[in-house]
Structure 1
């Protein structure tokens, strides 16, 4: 079942795109966050999704929101992906699927393809949106909609 809207994000540790240890407690519970899981670097849909978050990144930062992408790709692959597409936000490497399991991100296509799921987490560390769709183009809009709704509360 995994984490749901209203759940608090548990603490976790992962390796970021610079090969450094990332502690979730450094961000979660301190600022609003968009955490998105995607299947694979350099694929058409995943590139489109990452670039859409890139193109709105300044707006997110201005609203006090951080963006983090997560996939099973290696640290080196994340670094190349960020460099090639000028992606300004952090990526976390999840080669064993531990974060996917923690969040309960479902696989697609009979388990052959890692799922695509976006979470919007408020500054208290509570999930405000959980959106699952293999349509990469839908994730940015859903995240923006929820962030604006949170800002108006």
Structure 2
């Protein structure tokens, strides 16, 4: 798994609308909160996505982008975004190429770990949170960005 100080691997994945999104696109305006999650519509993943949604305006005001990545397809992501009014893209990694590149695949390569990375415009990992069931740790990272406590 990537750690603080590592270089974030480039990627190109499609969002829920079928548009290809790259790491460079997401970093064009500043910092990136890249969060990996196991599945759309599960209780913990829904809580995490809604917490991200509730902080999204504050993050955007600071030129911070947010994007979620999971192994579900575009149609699932589209329904999930619409149902919970998520203002950020969800990327389709059914092939798990980015999941593997960031080292967030689950035990024996099954599933996906709940991991959030804060990535700087020069593609360095500034912060990382690994907490499979403790959404609060991920949200605490987001809150520290909003409050200006995270320097990189």
For normalisation by structure 2, the TM-score amounts to 0.90
- CA apart distance, 1:67: 0.3
- Corresponding residue for 1:65? 64
Aligned to 2:118: 120
Query: 1:112 deviation in Å?
Result: 4.7
Using structure 1 for the length normalisation, give the TM-score: 0.89
Count of residues in correspondence between the two structures = 150
| Secondary structure, aligned partner of 2:142 | helix
Q: CA deviation at 1:21?
A: 1.1
- Provide the secondary structure at the position in 2 that maps to 1:79: helix
Gaps of 5+ in 2: none
* Larger deviation, residues 3-12 vs 64-73: 3-12
Equivalent residues in 2 for 1:1-153 (5 A)? Answer: 2-28=1-27, 30-107=29-106, 112-134=110-132, 135-146=134-145, 148-150=148-150
Superposition RMSD in Å: 1.8
Task: Output the CA distance in 2 between the equivalents of 1:3 and 1:29.
Answer: 21
| Ranges in structure 1 where 5+ consecutive residues have no aligned partner | none
Q: Flag as ranges the 4+ runs of structure 1 deviating above 3 A.
A: 110-113
